[in-house]
Each structure stands twice: as structure tokens, then as C-alpha cells.
Amino acid sequence: MTTPRSPDDVSRREFLGTVAKTGGQSFLFGSLFVNTALLRLPQDVATAKAKQETEIGKGVIYGFVVDTTKCIGCGSCARACRAENNVPDGYNRTWIEQYTFYPNGEVVVNSPVGGEAGFAEPPTRNMPAELEKVQPVRGFFVPKLCNHCIDTPCIQVCPVGASFKTDEGVVLVDKERCVGCGYCVQACPFGSRYLNPDTNVADKCTWCYHRVTKGLLPACVQSCPAEARIFGNVSDPASKISHILATNRVQVLKSYLGTRPRTRYIGLDSEVI
Amino acid sequence: MRHAAHFLRLVALLVVAVVGFLFVRSKLVPQDFGVKGHFRLSAIADEAAREPRHIGSDACAECHDEIGNAWKAGKHRTPQCENCHGPGLMHTKVVAEESTTAYPDRILKIRLAIRRPTGIVECKWCHLRTFERPSTLKSIANVADHINSHTGTFTKDSKCIDCHNPHTTVVTVNAKGVPVPPKIGP
């Protein structure tokens, strides 16, 4: 025989369950209104803001143009990048790809050590044996680097907010915040990122942010003897890059992915991937 | 309410948990995180603070003015000094530092702080013929054949700079028309 339960008579299990549910809900609901900015000291935020606004030029948007028709494949850019940014061996922030077209329609793509050691001396050419004696019909070099996309896949996937974009459109990695999970390395469709084995954090081309904010050119642009790399402020109509962009037909890599790269290419062939 | 005490205990626990969470969070999240986006704002200044290692050919020419002028006037003015010599920051630092090191050692230290090109490897980066290179670029298919076709003196120690001045590309010949080693050094 069961006696009718009074409203006050709840079992411990029911009670704890209800409390946990309502408590959890109100915690989640309440956390929507907690502005984390309130927890910061106001002067810290103000200093950080002022620091950024004074240090970095306002209204500057950087752009990069690679003229593949001028590249001679010397590898100076890749060597300069390694020296400037202390890139560990086996990794590249920028590299050169060599495209060779054969009469049978075959395309051979090569990038031995990122093109740093040059291309002409054997055994850098890695290709099918039957093509060894065939005279190619067409060929060119394509330098590659981070595209500094406007709609970046790499920043989206970062779980700790270590990848970010500056006002100038440069995609950077916060080396102190990065936990080295490597999601961004996988997310980048251009292979521009790598996990640095020395620091165990993600690393990438910064368009030499430490140089360009001091008024210098990126190391690869400065070292290019063929003027195949052009860097500058695209929001300034008088800059060299604005002139190049206005007088040339440019293309981006993998436009079908919709990442909207800021690195643009002159003379990009449809075979270039 | 019979269970008011239970409620109060749990609410107190909840408040402690929330406050504790917010406290820990405020300690773990950097102060300037989220000011301009989902990142630490001072990371921009951190990245910008790095020291450039390539000083530029104009900086080199401030001291090495003779070579600098010859380089600028010659055909080889597009490759920069640091393309072959490596970044110049350490070199300038060693030159600028106050030093008590005695004379010959100091010169050696300054020399060691910059790369001394081999005089053949660097040339091949651009001037060895490969199909993809533009035909306007002067290039040779084979170093041995090139030297033997001109002087017939190729050995395994032969270098491009035995005849060509790398800074100006000029080849100086003697009265007999034989190339003489160019004066390259500082």
C-alpha cells in the first residue's frame, strides 16, 4: 500500500536531478551575459589599444604579387626566408615549384628542397624514366608562399585563438598561445603552415611582418633578382603594387575554395595547383 | 519548505563555482585577449618586434663603398649582396661592438660573421641552364665544358670567379686575350 505523496515529499534522486538541471540551465543562460571584458582592468585594455594604434599604420592593407613569368628559379627567396626567419631544415615558408610540360601531355612538378639548392644540377629532377630523353615543350617556375587569405580556413579552426589576422590583412601565429595541435596545418589548403620542431608551435610566412612594419621589404622580395615578387600597400593608389595590379591580369591559387587569397599571381597556368 | 537548507547549500556551491570559474578564467586569459578579435592583441607587437636580419645592400655599401658603386653600375645590380653573402646583421653587430680583441683576431671575427661565397655554387643558382629558365638569362649547361671551350684549363678546383668578377660580371683579359683573376675582395 502506498500512501499519497505530499508536494514536499521528494526523493533525494529527484531533488538532486531537478537542482542540477535548473542550476545548469541558469549557469549557461547567465554566462551569456557575462562580458569577459568586465573582468579586465580598463587601463590594460586602453594601453594595448593605444599601443597597437600608434605602432601600426592605419589604413594600410598589404598585398603580394608573384609574377611567374619573371621567376628564374634561383631560390634566393627561399634561402633569404630561411635565414631571416630561422626556418628549421626540412620546412619552408616559401618555396619554388618547377613545372615542365612534355609532348605527351605529362606535367612534371618538382621542388627539391623547396628550390633552395637550385634546379638545374642533377639529381634534383624527379621524373618518370621514359621522359628522361624527351625534350620538354614548355616550362616555368611558380614561387609559393602563404596566401594570407581574407576568409582563412586556418584561423577558423584554431581552438585557442592563436591564429589571427591583423588590420593590414596579415595572418599571424601567436607563439605564446599556440598549443601545437596542428589543426591549422591540416586546414590550410596551400600547405603554407608547419609545426616548428624547435618550438613545437605552428609557424608560417608572416610576409616578414617584423620587417614591413619597419618600412623594409619582406626578405624574399628584397632578395629576388628578377623582380618576380612585388609587395606593398594595396590601399595606396600610388604604390608600385597598385600599379602592377591595375595594369596586369592577376589570378589567385585555388580560387574555387573561396578563401580569397591576398597573394596574387601573374601568368598562372591552369595546371598549377 | 522542508528542503530550504538543501537549496541554499546548492545555490552557495553554485555561486562559489561560478565565481571560482570567473576568477580562474580572468587569471588564465591574457588581459588584452579579445580586444580586437579572438586573439591576444599584444601578439601583433611581439611579432613586429623581431629584429630584421637582412640589412639591405645600401647598408653594406655604406662601408664597402667601392664594391657597392661597382655593383650598382654593373650588370649584376639585381642580385643583392645578401643573396650570396648571407644576412648581414651579425657582421654589422660585430663591427659596431666595443671590442678589446687584438687586431688580427678582430678582423677574423668580423670576417667569420658574414658568409664567404664559394664563387661557384652561388653562380649556379641562377646561371646553370635548365629548360624552364627564360632564354634571356645568360646560362651555361656545364661548367667544365664552358671553361674548356674558353681556356681549356678546367680542374676540379675551378671556380667561376677565377675569370668573372661576381660584382660586375666583367671578365678582364691580358694582352694575350687570356682571362686574368679579377680583384674581388674589399
**What one-character-per-residue DSSP string does A75-108 give?**
-HHHHHHHHHHTPPTT--SSEEEEEEE-TTS-EE
* Rounded Cα gap, residues A165 and A168, in angstroms: 8
Q: Residue B76: pLDDT above 90?
A: yes
What is residue A53's predicted lDDT score, i.e. its pLDDT?
53
- Whether the CB-CB separation of A96 and A72 falls below 8 Å is answered with no
CB contact under 8 A, A164 and B39: yes
Count of domains observed in chain B = 3
pLDDT at B104: 77
Are residues B105 and B73 part of one domain? Answer: yes
Instruction: Please state the pTM of the whole predicted model.
Output: 0.82
The pLDDT tens digits for A35-50 are 555 555 555 555 655 5
- Which residue of B40, B44, B132 is in closest CB contact with A100? B132
- What is the pLDDT, as a whole number, of residue B130? 87
Average pLDDT, chain A: 87
| Same-domain status, B138 and B174 | yes
pLDDT attached to residue B4: 85
Distance CA A269, CA B60 (A): 38
What is the arithmetic mean of pLDDT over A170-186?
A: 95
A22-31, A198-207, B25-34: the lowest-pLDDT one = A22-31
> Cα A125 vs. chain centroid, distance in angstroms?
28
How many residues does this entry show for chain B? 186
Half-sphere exposure of A203 (CA within 13 A, CB side): 19
- Say if A238 is an interface residue toward chain B (CB within 8 Å): no
pLDDT digits (tens, 9 = 90+) for B104-143: 788 888 888 899 999 999 999 999 888 888 888 889 988 9
Write the pLDDT tens digit of every residue in A234-260.
Answer: 999 999 999 999 999 999 999 999 999
Cα separations in angstroms, A18 against A164, B3, B31: 42, 13, 37
pLDDT confidence tier of residue A123, bands split at 50, 70 and 90: very low
pLDDT band (50, 70, 90) for residue A63: very high
Q: Which of B116, B140, B165 is the last residue of a domain?
A: B116
Residues B88/B82, Cβ–Cβ less than 8 Å: yes
Share of chain A above pLDDT 90, in %: 62
* A163: contact with B, CB 8 A cutoff: yes
Q: Which of residues 6-35 of B touch A (CB under 8 A)?
A: 6-7, 10-11, 14, 17-18, 22, 25-26, 29-35
Nearest CA-CA partner of B47 in A159, A180, A211, A151: A211
Picking from A48, A84, A216, the nearest residue to B87 by CB comes out as A84
| d(C-alpha A110, C-alpha A132), whole Å | 14
The neighbour count for residue A139, using CB atoms within 10 Å, is: 17
- Angle subtended at Cα B76 by Cα B74 and Cα B80, rounded to the nearest 5 degrees: 120
The answer to whether B83 faces chain A, any CB pair under 8 Å, is yes
- Say which CATH number the domain at B93 has: 1.10.287
Chain B interface mutation, best of A58, A142, A210, highest count of B Cβ atoms under 10 Å:
A210
Task: In whole angstroms, give the CA distance from residue A101 to residue A131.
Answer: 10
Residue B88, classified by CB atoms within 10 Å of its CB into exposed (0-12), middle (13-18) or buried (19+), is buried
Using one digit for the tens of pLDDT, what is the confidence trace for B44-75? 999 999 999 999 999 999 999 999 999 999 99
Query: Which is nearest to A235 in space by CA: A64, A59, A65?
Result: A59
CB neighbourhood size of A224 (10 A): 28
Q: What residue segments make up the domains of chain A, in order of their start?
A: 153-203
Topology, domain A153-203? Alpha-Beta Plaits (3.30.70)
Res A126: pLDDT: 66
Alpha-carbon dihedral angle through residues A212, A217, A220, A226, given to the nearest 10 degrees: 160
Report whether pLDDT(A112) > 50.
Answer: yes
Residues B40 and B66 in one domain: no
**CA dihedral sign, ordered A132, A136, A142, A143:** positive
State the distance between the two ends of chain A, measured CA to CA, in whole angstroms: 79
Phi, psi of B37 (to 5 degrees): 155, -175
Contacts by residues A100-107 (CB-CB < 8 Å, ≥ 24 positions apart): A100/A127, A100/A136, A100/A138, A100/A139, A100/B131, A100/B132, A101/A136, A101/A137, A101/A138, A101/A139, A101/A271, A102/A131, A102/A134, A102/A136, A102/A137, A103/A134, A103/A135, A103/A137, A104/A134, A106/A131, A107/A271
Tell me if chain B has a CB within 8 Å of the CB of A21: no
Residue A219 touches chain B, beta carbons under 8 Å: yes
8 Å CB contact of B87 and A83: yes
Query: What's the rounded Cα separation, in Å, for the pair A269 and A253?
Result: 10
Query: Which stretches within A136-254 are classed as H helix?
Result: 153-157, 183-187, 209-212, 219-223, 240-247
Q: How close, in Å, is residue A213 to chain B by CA atoms?
A: 7
Of A256, A264, A261, residue with least CA distance to A151: A261
Among A27, A43, A52, A158, the strongest candidate for a mutation testing the B interface, having the largest count of B CBs within 10 A, is A52
A45 in B contact zone (CB under 8 Å): yes
Q: Flag whether pLDDT at B16 surpasses 80.
A: yes
Beta carbons within 8 Å of A228's beta carbon, 6+ residues apart: A66, A67, A68, A70, A71, A72, A143
Residues 107-166 of B with CB under 8 A from A: 124-126, 128-134, 137, 139
Residue A221 above 60 pLDDT?
yes
Please give the residue that has the higher pLDDT: either A56 or A130: A130
- Name the residue type at position A233: N
**pLDDT confidence of residue B86:** 93
- Which is nearest to B80 in space by CA: A210, A77, A230? A77
pLDDT at A57: 55
Q: Say whether both B36 and B78 belong to one domain.
A: no
Residue B64's domain spans which residues?
Answer: 53-116
